[in-house]
């Protein structure tokens, strides 16, 4: 089991801290009353991952910028790991189950 919090994450294994290493920050763009956003945040928390949430509910300019940043995605949530656009909730769930999320999080910064 891997636990992480704060942005310079602390690794824990079997209850003891075994290593510290830098991890890519996770940023999630959300709106209020968004079921997929809630599920995405829950999944991240279940994995012990800390994230920064950007609520774009009342921020149309940011929402427009988000569409650009994601290559035209119009839905929320949109999740970034470091500079990599992971996608929405279903992309996060897939990445969590196939190991891509771990890989992205642990990738060294460019
Ligand atoms: N397949 C997408 C579905 C996301 C989705 O449908 N989100 C809704 C909100 S829960 C949405 O953005 N609807 C359009 C809008 O709010 O403008 C995912 O997995 O993230």
Q: What is the pLDDT of residue 14?
A: 61
Model confidence pLDDT, tens digit, residues 63-75 = 999 999 999 999 9
**What is the edge-to-edge ordering of all strands in the sheet holding 52-55?**
52-55, 26-30, 78-81, 84-87
Task: Report the pLDDT averaged over residues 18-33.
Answer: 84
Query: Mean of the per-residue pLDDT values for the chain?
Result: 87
- pTM, 2 dp: 0.84
Q: Which atom of ligand 1 is nearest to the CA of 77?
A: 20
Output DSSP code: residue 95.
Answer: H
Closest protein CA for atom 6 of ligand 1: 75
Closest protein CA for atom 14 of ligand 1: 75
Q: Where exactly are the structural domains of the chain?
A: 10-106
Q: Is the pLDDT of residue 52 over 70?
A: yes
Main-chain dihedrals φ then ψ at residue 73, nearest 5 degrees = -75, 130
Kindly give the distance from the C-alpha atom of residue 3 to the centroid of ligand 1, in angstroms, as a whole number. 28
Output DSSP code: residue 72.
Answer: S
CATH of 10-106, one of 3.30.70.1230, 3.40.30.10, 3.10.450.240, 3.40.50.1100: 3.40.30.10
Ligand 1 contacts (CB < 6 A) are 31, 34-36, 75-77, 88-90
């Amino acid at each position: 089991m891997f636990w992480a919090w704060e942005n310079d994450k602390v690794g824990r294994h079997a209850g003891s801290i075994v290593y510290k290493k830098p991890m890519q920050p996770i940023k999630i763009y959300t709106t209020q009353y968004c079921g997929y956003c809630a599920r995405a945040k829950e999944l991240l928390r279940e994995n012990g991952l800390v994230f920064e949430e950007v609520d774009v509910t009342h921020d149309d300019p940011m929402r427009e910028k988000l569409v650009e940043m994601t290559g035209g995605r119009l839905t929320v949530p949109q999740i970034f790991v470091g500079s990599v656009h992971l996608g929405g909730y279903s992309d996060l769930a897939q990445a969590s189950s196939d190991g891509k999320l771990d890989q992205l999080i642990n990738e060294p910064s460019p």
